[in-house]
Amino acid sequence: MKHVLELKNISKQYGKVQALGGVSFSMEHGVYALLGPNGSGKSTLMNIIAGLLKPSSGEVLFHGEALGAKREHFYRRFGYMPQYPAMYPSFSVLEFLHYVSALKDLPDDGGREIGRLLERVELSDVGDRKISALSGGMKQRLSLCSAVLGDPELLILDEPTAGLDPMQRVALRRFVAELGERKTVLWATHIVSDVESIAREIIFMKKGVATVQENSTQPLEERYLAFFGDLL
């Protein structure tokens, strides 16, 4: 069976420090939660999937094919929201999204889709505002827009709710749940409530090792505390 995304024994070594140790799991459509405290290796793994880091060993497969030379094909079907998004502060919101549209070679410069996405994340009234004048929460929502632009099949979200107030967290969670009905979404976070109600599968990340959680009636917060108790 060809999975949408499959990680096979991904390891990352920095000198004598092992950041990732043989991470393996596969994903279909739906929301998958990569849950663990800061420093557990989540962002390192995200950067490897996105092609920003090379693993020391292991491989990433997309629909059964190792990425390697097929990165360009993969990028056209992939959206990435990093933990610390880089944006041009002198650009307006609309200028930035049209720039991303051009990079993604979208038809009609992404015009209609941009308007729809800005409305969906409640940024439609700040389209002409400079990015430098946006709040942290607004920048997070704009980063999500840029990741979703072009309707990618696979979304990688690294701490997407950072800087959001409680109402915005709920709205973003609902949006991602909707996306997960027709896409594959990997959401990395250290906040249990962000993913408890929407994740198809939970993967605990601890000291660079990923452990896929089996279905359980035990509340996720209790399992999290039991698993990570020695680190909290």
CATH topology of domain 1-77+156-232: Rossmann fold (3.40.50)
Contact 198, 173 (CB under 8 A): yes
H helices of the chain, in order, are 42-49, 71-75, 93-103, 111-120, 136-148, 166-179, 192-195, 220-228
Q: Sort strands 17-27 and 5-14 into parallel, antiparallel or unpaired.
A: antiparallel
Return d(Cα 186, Cα 205) in angstroms, integer.
13
Closest CA to 35 of 216, 214, 210: 210
Give the list of residues 6+ apart from residue 164 with CB closer than 8 angstroms, or none. 137, 140, 141, 172
Return d(Cα 132, Cα 68) in angstroms, integer.
36
pLDDT at 110: 65
One-character DSSP codes across 33-45: EEE--TTSSHHHH
Question: Taking CA 12 as the corner, what is the angle to CA 192 and CA 156, rounded to the nearest 5 degrees?
Answer: 45
pLDDT at 69: 59
Each of the 232 residues of the chain gets a pLDDT tens digit; together they read 678 999 999 999 999 899 999 999 999 999 999 999 988 999 999 999 988 899 999 999 988 888 765 667 777 788 999 888 889 999 999 999 999 998 888 877 667 889 999 999 999 999 999 999 999 889 999 999 999 999 999 999 999 998 888 998 998 999 999 999 999 999 999 999 999 999 999 999 999 999 999 878 888 888 889 888 866 5
- Find tokens 């994340």 and name the residue: 121
Q: Residue 166's CB: how many other CB atoms inside 10 A?
A: 9
Question: Taking CA 215 as the corner, what is the angle to CA 220 and CA 148, rounded to the nearest 5 degrees?
Answer: 75
Contacts 24+ apart (CB under 8 A), 208-216: 208/12, 208/18, 208/19, 208/20, 208/21, 208/23, 208/40, 208/41, 208/44, 209/20, 209/21, 209/22, 209/23, 209/41, 210/23, 210/24, 210/25, 210/34, 210/45, 212/25
Residue 108 one-letter amino acid: D
Closest CA to 81 of 25, 164, 149: 149
Residues of the chain with CATH 3.40.50.300: 1-77+156-232
Structure tokens, 173: 């969670």
Return d(Cα 196, Cα 221) in angstroms, integer.
8
pLDDT at 84: 84
Residue 189 one-letter amino acid: T
